[in-house]
Chains A and B, each alone.
Chain A
Amino acid sequence: MYDFFEAFEQLSWVQFIGGNWFLYPAISVLHYFTIFWVVGTIALVNLRVLGLAGRSQTATEWTEQLAPWTWTAMAICLVTGFLEFAPGAGEFVLSPMFVGKMAATAVGVVLAVVVHRGVRNWDRAPAIPGSAKVLAAACLVVWFGTILLGVEVANYGFF
C-alpha cells in the first residue's frame, strides 16, 4: 500500500503543487484558516449545548446559523488538506501522528453531525439533557485533539 502512495507522489500535477513556491504555502494557509473556522464554529455549537454560549437563542437557532459555516469550511479544509498531503503521501501514511489525526477527524465529524442533528430534539426537553452535554464535551475534546495531532504532523515535517 505504501507503494501506491509513493507512486501517487510521482504524478505530474502532485509534483507541480509540491514544488510550487506560491501554491503550496497558499494551500497551507487556507488549510490552517479553515481548520480554525471549522473548530471555532463546532466549538461554539458545543458550548451552546453546554450552556456556556449563545443563551439568548435556542440551541437549534444557534446551530442553524453556525452549521453552514462549519461544513463549508470543512469542505475547503479537506480539499486543501488532501493537496498538502499528496506531495508527501508516502511519508504521511507512515506517520502515526498523521494517521491519528485522520482517525480523530473522522470521529470528530461523526460527533459534530450527531450534535448538529441532536439539538432539535434536545431543545424539546425542559432542559438540555446531561447525555447531550457529555456528547458536546467529547466532541470538543476530539476536535482539539485533531489540532494537537495536526501540530505534531507539522512539527515533524515530512514535506
Chain B
Amino acid sequence: MGGILMAWAQWLETSPWGFPVRTSLWLYPFIQLIHFGGLSMWIGTSAAVDLRLMGVGRRRQSASQLSEQLFAWNWIGFAIMLLGGFLLFSAAATTFLVNAAFLVKLSYLVPAALVWHIIVQRKTRTWGKNEETPAPAKLAGLLELALWLSVVTAAVLIPSY
C-alpha cells in the first residue's frame, strides 16, 4: 500500500501540474496564495456561523439564516482551498507522505473537522432557527472552531517534521 502511494507521489511530482509548481520560484507562492485564499473564505464563513451558534456577536439574523447566506462562498472557498492544496501536495508529494504533521493533518484532523462541519451546517438549519441557540449548538460551534484550529496547528508544524 505504501509502495503504491509512493509511486503515485513520485508520478505527481513529475506531472504536468506538479513539476512546474515544484520547480518554479515564482509559481509556488501563487499556489500557496490559492490555498490560503480559499482557506480565508472557508474560515471566514465557517467561523461566522460557529460564533453565531455560540451566541457571540450581533444577533441581527438567526444562525440558520446566516449559514444559508454564507453557504455558497463557504463551499467555493473549500473548492479553491482543495485545488491549491492538491497543487502544493503534487509539488513535493514524496516528502509530504513521510511528514508526520502532514499525515496527521490530512488523515485525521481534516476528515474529522470536515465531517463535523457538515453535521453542524445541516443541524444549524434547526438549531439556528431562533435567536437563542440551544446549548448543544453552542458546544458544536466551539468544537468546530477547535477542530479547524488544530488543522492549522498541524499545518504550521509541517516544516518542523
Contact = CB atoms under 8 A, between A and B. Distances in A.
A33 B147 CA distance: 12
A147 B42 CA distance: 15
Interface string B40-70: 1111110110010000011011000010011
A65 B66 contact: yes
Nearest to B46: A40
Given A47-B73, A151-B29, A25 B156 contact: yes
Given A29-B153, A33-B152, A65-B66, A144 B60 contact: no
Interface residues of B, number: 36
Given A29-B149, A54-B69, A147-B36, A155 B28 contact: yes
Nearest to B72: A53
Given A40-B44, A64-B58, A147-B37, A32 B156 contact: yes
B33 A65 contact: no
Contact of A64 (B29, B43, B60, B73): B60
Looking at A64, A144, A151, A157, which has the most chain B CB atoms within 10 Å of its CB? A151
A36 B43 contact: yes
B40 A28 contact: no
Interface residues of A, number: 31
A39 B44 contact: yes
B42 A40 contact: yes
B39 interface: yes
B59 to A, nearest CB: 9
A109 interface: no
A111 B65 CA distance: 28
Interface of B: 28-30, 32-33, 36-37, 39-45, 47-48, 51, 57-58, 60-61, 66, 69-70, 72-73, 77, 148-149, 152-153, 155-157, 159-160
15 contacts: A25-B153, A29-B156, A33-B149, A35-B36, A36-B152, A39-B37, A40-B47, A40-B77, A61-B60, A65-B61, A68-B58, A69-B51, A148-B32, A148-B33, A152-B29
